[in-house]
Amino acid sequence: MVRQLHYPLVYLLLVAGAVALAFGEGVDASVIFGVVLLNTAVGFVQESKAEAALDALRAMVRTHARVVREWTVPSEDLVPGDVVLVGVGDKVPADLRLIRLTNLRVDESALTGESVPVVKDEVTLPEMIPVATGAETELGKIHRLVGAAEELATPLTRKLS
């Protein structure tokens, strides 16, 4: 919450409020301090909502995978060559090549924005392994972008800059 006070306009308002208070203008000082308090509260709420949205996106990326070498491993521990078992309702933990499937439909809305699941078909490929894991997957790239997201400036702070 204190981060909301680190802007030049806020400093100016705090000084103006202190000056108004020093000259006995209690009403003016109260209004100025009220505006600073309101601005701080609104900024804090907006920042909290943005952080919650980023946390939700980060949580979407964290998955576990059922693999043949062990029963369950975190998706970040997958390595090329792992045979991954994917069932109904599972999140796909890596970019995979499909060995065997039956009526597979995948929700790719996080990647493509499509609102309906995409049908996947069998295609013969020379190697049947995870082709990308961790940060190298498409979701990993999204996770990296989300993790590197900078603090957004409000319209007021952009104008002040």
Per-domain residue ranges of the chain: 5-61, 66-148
Q: How far apart are CA 32 and CA 152, in angstroms?
A: 25
Sign of CA dihedral 71, 72, 75, 78: negative
Half-sphere exposure of 150 (CA within 13 A, CB side): 3
Question: What is residue 125's predicted lDDT score, i.e. its pLDDT?
Answer: 62
Question: What is residue 126's predicted lDDT score, i.e. its pLDDT?
Answer: 60
Per-residue pLDDT of the chain (161 residues; tens, 9 = 90+): 667 777 888 889 999 999 999 999 999 999 999 999 998 888 888 888 888 888 887 776 667 777 887 778 887 788 888 888 888 888 878 778 777 888 888 888 877 888 888 888 777 666 556 677 767 777 777 777 777 777 667 776 677 66
Question: What is residue 161's predicted lDDT score, i.e. its pLDDT?
Answer: 66
Question: What is residue 35's predicted lDDT score, i.e. its pLDDT?
Answer: 92
**62: phi then psi, degrees, rounded to nearest 5:** -75, 120
Question: What is residue 117's predicted lDDT score, i.e. its pLDDT?
Answer: 86
pTM over 0.75: no
Per the CB < 8 A criterion, the answer to whether 129 and 84 are in contact is: no
